[in-house]
Amino acid sequence: MYVRPGMTASIEGVTPGKYRILFQIGRDWDDTAEEFRWPTATAIVDRTEPFEEDETYSSVVAITLHKLKGGNARTTPVPRQAFHRRRKA
């Protein structure tokens, strides 16, 4: 999912489970290739984020991709190739 600065986005239909958030920051988004022409950072959030749901409740995970004073998400840099989208056949 591509999110421009100042935008918000949501994903629906997430299967319950624990997820690690992988993200990339860059410039010059290529819609056709679905990647940045000039990636500047690629990282993964160190902890997993649980997503749960039942008949009356679905959990919400909110992230901010810039540093916040008092923020609690530690990240680890990863090679930019780790970010390439896996397409369904």
Domain membership flag for residue 68:
yes
Domain membership flag for residue 12:
no
Per-residue model confidence (pLDDT) at position 11: 83
Q: What share of the chain is helix, strand, coil (3-state, %, to 5)?
A: 5, 35, 60
Domain membership flag for residue 64:
yes
Q: What's the pTM?
A: 0.75
pLDDT (tens, 9 = 90+) of the chain, 89 residues, equals 788 888 888 888 888 899 888 889 999 999 888 889 999 999 999 998 888 887 777 778 778 877 778 878 888 999 988 877 655 54
Domain membership flag for residue 5:
no
How many structural domains comprise the chain?
Answer: 1
Range of the domain at 51: 17-79
The amino acid at 87: R
